[in-house]
């Protein structure tokens, strides 16, 4: 699960560029333009992510049961047989963002979110962490 083969997932490709925390990253830039300090809640970040994908024309499933839990966001590209699972976390401080990304990835694995995704050649899993107007994504 290291390379993105489907050109349709340019937004996902952009997300992978978020290897660090920077105001110049795609998601952080969108947060900077849209979020208020009153919105620093996990459910806001979750809805924000879903909105990014729906706004780009993707069909996004949100919190639907898969495996033993509910992934925050599931994107399916049936044509290219690629699925994307995204789990989001709200970090308590900027220094926790990398660890929270890892916690999100572990949750995807432990809860077996990909278990019922039959017929997909590639399943990409992303752990995301948000702190105020900053975003981090790990594959």
CATH of the domain at 51: 3.40.1350
| First CA to last CA distance, the chain | 8
Is 51 part of a structural domain of the chain?
yes
Is 69 part of a structural domain of the chain?
yes
23-63 pLDDT, tens digit each = 346 677 777 777 776 666 777 787 888 888 887 777 788 87
Give the integer Cα–Cα distance in Å for 19 and 12. Answer: 13
**pLDDT given at position 73:** 92
Is 25 part of a structural domain of the chain?
yes
**pLDDT given at position 37:** 65
Is 103 part of a structural domain of the chain?
yes
What is the SS3 assignment for 74? strand
60-90 pLDDT, tens digit each = 888 776 767 889 999 888 888 888 999 999 9
Residue 113: give the domain boundaries. Answer: 7-138
Is 13 part of a structural domain of the chain?
yes
Both tokens assigned to 129: 């962490």
Is 2 part of a structural domain of the chain?
no
Both tokens assigned to 73: 């966001």
Is 118 part of a structural domain of the chain?
yes
Of the candidates 73, 58, 76, the one whose C-alpha atom is nearest the C-alpha of residue 128 is: 73
Mean pLDDT across the chain, nearest whole number? Answer: 77
Give the integer Cα–Cα distance in Å for 99 and 78. Answer: 32
* Structural domains of the chain, count: 1
Is 41 part of a structural domain of the chain?
yes
Of the candidates 58, 56, 77, 73, the one whose C-alpha atom is nearest the C-alpha of residue 122 is: 77
pLDDT at 110 over 50: yes
pLDDT at 3 over 60: no
């Amino acid at each position: 699960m290291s390379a993105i083969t489907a050109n349709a997932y340019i937004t996902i490709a952009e997300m992978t560029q978020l290897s660090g925390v920077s105001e110049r990253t795609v998601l952080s830039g969108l947060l900077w333009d849209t979020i208020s300090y009153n919105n620093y809640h996990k459910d806001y970040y979750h809805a924000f992510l879903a909105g990014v994908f729906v706004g780009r024309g993707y069909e996004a499933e949100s919190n639907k049961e898969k495996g033993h839990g509910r992934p925050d966001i599931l994107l399916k590209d049936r044509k290219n047989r690629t699925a994307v699972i995204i789990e989001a976390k709200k970090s308590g401080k900027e220094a926790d963002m990398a660890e929270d990304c890892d916690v999100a990835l572990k949750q995807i694995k432990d809860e077996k979110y990909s278990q019922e995704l039959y017929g997909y050649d590639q399943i990409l899993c992303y752990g995301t962490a948000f702190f105020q107007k900053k975003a981090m994504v790990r594959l």
